[in-house]
Amino acid sequence: MRSCQKIFIVQFIAATLGILLIVNEIYAGEAAPYTKEAYEKLEEAQKIYKPSYPGKDSTLAEKQKASINMFRDLFKQAGFDFDATIRQIAKDLENKTVTIPKNGQNVITMIIVLLSYVKSHCEYEKVDCLSFFDPKTSEAVQWLWKNTGFKP
């Protein structure tokens, strides 16, 4: 094979991978819908997700931020955006367009339980976990903590 052909093939593969990454990034910007399929995607992503842990010399704040980023990565792996999902759930619950389903296997309950975990650990370790979210998501997290009845 000539070097010109090799270069073309390498460029073609790189371009294809770049397009796939861009498409994934765009899709990962969406909130998880409140469907059984979305919940199942998150469950599947959780089974294959390989978390990276902060070093033992990390501060408590770094460890908590890593936990939140782990949730973000997990949602991204399933094709969703963790922060966008939080904002959407808070908005929908506040506007009373949805209610918290009674069965535990749904995206809304998953988010609320994860945020309860975050709150519990952050309060115990005296870490301001709200600073790990952008202002709109931080506001949504606070609303969910106050209004959902889930206590750590």
Answer for the pair 82, 75: CB distance below 8 angstroms, yes or no: yes
DSSP one-letter code for 33: P
SS3 102: coil
Amino acid at 120: S
Amino acid at 63: K
Low-confidence ranges of the chain (pLDDT < 70): 1-28, 150-152
Give the pLDDT of residue 150. Answer: 64
Of 121, 125, 21, the closest CA to residue 70 belongs to 121
d(CA 129, CA 46): 22
Of 6, 80, 13, 83, the closest CA to residue 43 belongs to 80
